């Protein structure tokens, strides 16, 4: 498997050069480099005797149909779009490993059709909405999304047409009842596996997420002439609450809470801040726990605002429920990891993935690989050769269990 692992890594690095920006990996939804990636992957799929197509949402799809096999097909894959100035492995490694798994399935004479999906859009960078490709495949694409506009003033509808596709055909991308399940292989994008010195994990659920925008409003005033006890400093109130958010999350098991964006007005060194707008991102695998945490944090914000004579506005932007992975497929993955000779671990994903969209339609599971340094969405993102090899060995064991279950 070592040669296959090296090939998968080399392919990720080759695709990394297919970018909108010289010297940086940036590949947004249906921008010209996507054509390059499609052409490259198409050649590899055809070499594996796969039938290849691009659906109307821009997903590249390769189907391997074993001779005589007429049962439901297994979906494998991940996304090929990136954030700006990305790493080489987020999403793309999952596509390359899916193709390696197909080759393993062929060697095992697995009588299960396999469709490899290279999702067109997971990150949501170009139009501000993620999962455009997987929404189409899961039959939950909302046609009003076609009116979304990118930074250049181009609509989603126009972007699809400019790529040579017909947005009126998006409904035809949806999978039917002839799908056995979906497996997404992905780097962890966090430090947990490395901290525990583990190569792989089976994902049990994708954490639910709440996003809120809060605004503390006080009174902008002269920094030199306004006594401390007469101030209504919005930034001081925001700072107190941000520290409270961190303290709360550190003392509440499984919760992660982040204030990642601030907008301070008037944002001058000699003026007391009049308003501060900020983001709150709270995630947990258990929805009631997340909901309780959000309410507790908003209560703290209200208490701080009242004590400091500040006005507070809170606007919820997102309440995404946690998405459990399929228990049977997850068990197969966990057993496959152990059978391949590695410690078996189950964990929650704190990040969103295409798998969470497909899970609403078909049984879905995820396999995580260690992210060295816990680094992702950054040029320093990398993988270990031995971990990629471990994922290939686990794939072989997974197929053995899946075949035994079906037959």
Look at residue 215 and tell me whether its pLDDT is greater than 70: yes
Looking at the structure, tell me whether residues 390 and 270 fall in a common domain.
Answer: no
Looking at the structure, tell me whether residues 346 and 254 fall in a common domain.
Answer: no
Domain that holds residue 274: 208-320
What total of structural domains would you count in the chain? Answer: 2
Looking at the structure, tell me whether residues 180 and 223 fall in a common domain.
Answer: no
pLDDT for position 404: 85
The CA radius of gyration of the chain, in Å to the nearest whole number, is 23
pLDDT for position 1: 85
Looking at the structure, tell me whether residues 42 and 131 fall in a common domain.
Answer: yes
Q: What is the mean pLDDT of residues 215-224?
A: 98
Look at residue 317 and tell me whether its pLDDT is greater than 90: no
State how far the Cα of 160 lies from the Cα of 136, in Å rounded to an integer.
13
Q: What is the mean pLDDT of residues 50-71?
A: 94
pLDDT for position 116: 98
Nearest Cα residue to 274 out of 301, 234, 317: 234
Chain position carrying tokens 């004590």: 307
Question: pLDDT of 21-43, one tens digit each?
Answer: 999 999 999 999 999 999 999 99
Count of residues in the chain: 407
Looking at the structure, tell me whether residues 284 and 201 fall in a common domain.
Answer: no
Looking at the structure, tell me whether residues 141 and 100 fall in a common domain.
Answer: yes
CATH, residue 122? 3.40.630.10
Q: How far is CA 38 from CA 8, 80, 119, 120, in A?
A: 16, 9, 11, 10
Looking at the structure, tell me whether residues 212 and 159 fall in a common domain.
Answer: no
Looking at the structure, tell me whether residues 269 and 330 fall in a common domain.
Answer: no
Question: pLDDT of 251-291, one tens digit each?
Answer: 998 899 999 999 999 999 999 999 999 999 999 999 999 99
The separation between CA 119 and the C-alpha centre of its own chain, rounded to angstroms, equals 11
Which of 320, 346, 371 terminates a domain? The answer is 320
Nearest Cα residue to 394 out of 353, 335, 354, 349: 335
Question: pLDDT of 232-258, one tens digit each?
Answer: 999 999 999 999 999 999 999 889 999
Q: What is the mean pLDDT of residues 316-338?
A: 94
Q: At CA 202, angle to CA 25 and CA 112, rounded to 5?
A: 90
pLDDT for position 146: 97
State how far the Cα of 369 lies from the Cα of 236, in Å rounded to an integer.
41
Question: pLDDT of 118-167, one tens digit each?
Answer: 999 999 999 988 999 999 999 999 999 999 999 999 999 999 999 999 99
Nearest Cα residue to 278 out of 234, 235, 215: 215
- Residue 202: CB partners within 8 Å, gap ≥ 6? 325, 330, 331, 333, 334, 337, 344, 345, 346, 347, 365, 366, 367, 368
Looking at the structure, tell me whether residues 182 and 47 fall in a common domain.
Answer: yes
Three-state SS letters, the chain? CHHHHHHHHHHHHHHHCCCCECCECCCCCCCHHHHHHHHHHHHHHHHCCCEEEECCCCCEEEEECCCCCCCCEEEEEEECCCCCCCCCCCCHHHHHHHHHHHHHHHHCCCCCCEEEEEECCCCCCCCCCCCHHHHHHCCCCCHHHHHCECCCCCEHHHHHHHCCCCHHHHHHHCCCCCEEEEEEEEECCCCHHHHCCCCEEEEEEECEEEEEEEEEECCCEECCCCCHHHCCCHHHHHHHHHHHHHHHHHCCCCCEEECCCEEEECCCCCEECCEEEEEEEEEECCHHHHHHHHHHHHHHHHHHHHHCCCEEEEEEEEEECCEECCHHHHHHHHHHHHHCCCCCCEEEECCCCHHHHHCCCCCEEEEEECCHHHCCCCCCCCCCHHHHHHHHHHHHHHHHHHHHHHC
Look at residue 407 and tell me whether its pLDDT is greater than 70: no
Which of 304, 320, 336 terminates a domain? The answer is 320
| Mean pLDDT estimate for the chain | 96
Which of 286, 301, 320 terminates a domain? The answer is 320
Chain position carrying tokens 């035809």: 172
Look at residue 293 and tell me whether its pLDDT is greater than 80: yes
Looking at the structure, tell me whether residues 20 and 57 fall in a common domain.
Answer: yes
Look at residue 314 and tell me whether its pLDDT is greater than 80: yes
State how far the Cα of 4 lies from the Cα of 2, in Å rounded to an integer.
5
CATH, residue 265? 3.30.70.360
Looking at the structure, tell me whether residues 88 and 136 fall in a common domain.
Answer: yes
CB 389 within 8 A of CB 382: no
Q: What is the mean pLDDT of residues 211-235?
A: 97
pLDDT for position 202: 98
Looking at the structure, tell me whether residues 110 and 166 fall in a common domain.
Answer: yes
End-to-end alpha carbon distance in the chain? 26
């Amino acid at each position: 498997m070592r040669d296959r692992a090296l090939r998968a890594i080399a392919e990720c690095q080759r695709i990394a050069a297919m970018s909108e920006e010289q010297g940086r990996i940036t590949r947004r939804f249906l921008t010209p480099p996507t054509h390059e990636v499609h052409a490259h992957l198409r050649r590899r799929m055809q070499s594996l005797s796969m039938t290849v197509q691009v659906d109307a949402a821009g997903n590249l799809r390769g189907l391997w149909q074993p001779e005589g096999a007429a049962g439901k097909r297994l979906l494998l894959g991940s996304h090929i779009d990136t954030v700006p100035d990305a790493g080489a492995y987020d999403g793309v490694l999952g596509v390359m490993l899916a193709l390696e798994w197909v080759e393993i399935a062929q060697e095992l004479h697995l009588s299960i059709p396999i469709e490899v999906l290279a999702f067109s859009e997971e990150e949501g960078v170009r139009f501000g909405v993620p999962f455009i490709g997987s929404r189409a495949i899961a039959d939950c694409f909302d046609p009003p999304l076609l009116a979304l506009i990118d930074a250049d003033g181009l609509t989603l509808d126009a972007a699809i047409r400019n790529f040579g596709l017909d947005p009126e055909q998006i409904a035809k991308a949806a999978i039917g009842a002839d799908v056995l399940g979906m497996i997404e292989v992905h780097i962890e994008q966090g430090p947990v596996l490395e901290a525990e010195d583990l190569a792989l994990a089976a994902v049990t659920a994708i954490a639910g997420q709440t996003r809120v925008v809060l605004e503390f409003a006080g009174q902008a005033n002269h920094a030199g002439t306004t006594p401390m006890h007469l101030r209504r400093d919005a930034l001081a109130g925001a700072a107190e609450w941000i520290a409270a958010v961190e303290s709360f999350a550190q003392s509440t098991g499984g919760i992660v809470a982040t204030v990642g964006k601030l907008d301070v007005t008037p944002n001058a060194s000699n003026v007391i801040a009049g308003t501060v707008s900020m983001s709150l991102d709270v995630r947990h695998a258990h929805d009631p726990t997340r909901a309780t945490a959000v309410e507790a944090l908003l209560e703290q914000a209200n208490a701080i605002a009242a004590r400091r004579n500040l006005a507070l506005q809170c606007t919820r932007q997102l309440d995404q429920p946690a998405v459990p992975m399929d228990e049977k497929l997850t068990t197969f993955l966990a057993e496959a990891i152990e059978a391949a000779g590695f410690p078996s671990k189950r964990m929650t994903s704190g990040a969103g993935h295409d798998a969470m969209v497909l899970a609403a339609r078909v049984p879905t599971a995820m396999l995580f690989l260690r992210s060295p340094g816990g680094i992702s969405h950054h040029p320093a993102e990398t993988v270990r050769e031995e971990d990629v090899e471990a994922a290939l060995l686990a794939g072989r064991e997974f197929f053995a269990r899946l075949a035994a279950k079906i037959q």
